[in-house]
Structure 1
Amino acid sequence: MSETSIQASDGSGSFQAYVAEPEGTPRAAIVVIQEIFGVNPGIRQKCDDWAAQGYLAIAPDLFWRVQPGVVLDPDVEPEFQQALQLMGQFDQGKGIEDIEATIKAARAQLGGGKVGVVGFCLGGRLAFMAATRTDSDASVGYYAVGIDNLLGEKHAIAKPVLLHVAGADHFVTPDIQAKMHEGLDDHPKVTIFDYPGEDHGFAAEMGKRRSEAAAELADTRTADFFAEHLG
Structure 2
Amino acid sequence: MLVTTEVQDIDTQTGKMRTYVYRPAAEGRFGTVIFYSEIFQQTAPIARAACMLAGHGFVVLVPEVFHELNPPGTVLAYDDVGKDKGNQDKFAKPLEQHDSDTQALLDFAARQAFCNGKVGAMGVCIGGHLAYRAALNPRLEGAFCLYATDIHSNSLPCKAGNDSLSRTADIRGELFMVWGKQDPHVPSAGRQVIHRRLEDTGRHFSWLEVNAQHAFMRDEGDRYDPALALQMYLQANAFFQRLLG
TM-score (norm 1): 0.91
* Alignment check: 8 A CA contact 1:23 1:54 kept: no
Q: CA deviation at 1:112?
A: 4.5
**How many residue pairs are counted as aligned between the two chains?**
227
User: For residue 59 of structure 1, what is the amino acid of its counterpart?
Assistant: V
* 1:67-82 equivalent positions in 2, closer than 5 A: 67-68=70-71, 69-74=73-78, 76-82=79-85
Select which of 210, 215, 220 maps to 2:229.
215
In structure 1, the residue matched to 2:123 is 119
Q: Per residue, is there more strand in 1 or in 2? A: 2
* Alignment check: 8 A CA contact 2:36 2:63 kept: yes
User: For residue 30 of structure 1, what is the amino acid of its counterpart?
Assistant: V
In structure 1, the residue matched to 2:6 is 2
User: For residue 40 of structure 1, what is the amino acid of its counterpart?
Assistant: T
Q: CA deviation at 1:106?
A: 1.5
* Alignment check: 8 A CA contact 1:26 1:54 kept: no
TM-score (norm 2): 0.86
Structure 1 counterpart SS, 2:231: helix
- 1:137 pairs with 2:151: no
Q: CA deviation at 1:37?
A: 0.4
Q: Per residue, is there more helix in 1 or in 2? A: 1
The separation in 1 between residues aligned to 2:213 and 2:103, in whole angstroms, is 29
Q: Kindly tell me: are residues 206 and 134 of structure 1, through their superposed partners in 2, closer, same or farther at Cα, counting changes over 3 Å?
A: farther
Unaligned 5+ segments in structure 1 are none
- 1:170 pairs with 2:174: no
- Structure 1, 206-215 or 173-182: larger mean CA deviation: 206-215
- Structure 1, 205-214 or 34-43: larger mean CA deviation: 205-214
In structure 2, the residue matched to 1:50 is 53
Q: CA deviation at 1:96?
A: 2.0
User: For residue 167 of structure 1, what is the amino acid of its counterpart?
Assistant: K
Q: CA deviation at 1:120?
A: 0.8
Unaligned 5+ segments in structure 2 are 155-163
* 1:7-86 equivalent positions in 2, closer than 5 A: 7-8=11-12, 10=13, 12-24=14-26, 25-68=28-71, 69-74=73-78, 76-86=79-89
* Alignment check: 8 A CA contact 2:29 2:116 kept: no
The separation in 2 between residues aligned to 1:81 and 1:90, in whole angstroms, is 15
Q: Kindly tell me: are residues 111 and 172 of structure 1, through their superposed partners in 2, closer, same or farther at Cα, counting changes over 3 Å?
A: closer
In structure 1, the residue matched to 2:169 is 155
In structure 1, the residue matched to 2:160 is none
Q: CA deviation at 1:35?
A: 0.7
- 1:225 pairs with 2:239: yes
The separation in 2 between residues aligned to 1:205 and 1:58, in whole angstroms, is 20
Percentage of pairs with the same residue: 24
* 1:178-193 equivalent positions in 2, closer than 5 A: 178-185=192-199, 187-193=202-208
User: For residue 222 of structure 1, what is the amino acid of its counterpart?
Assistant: A
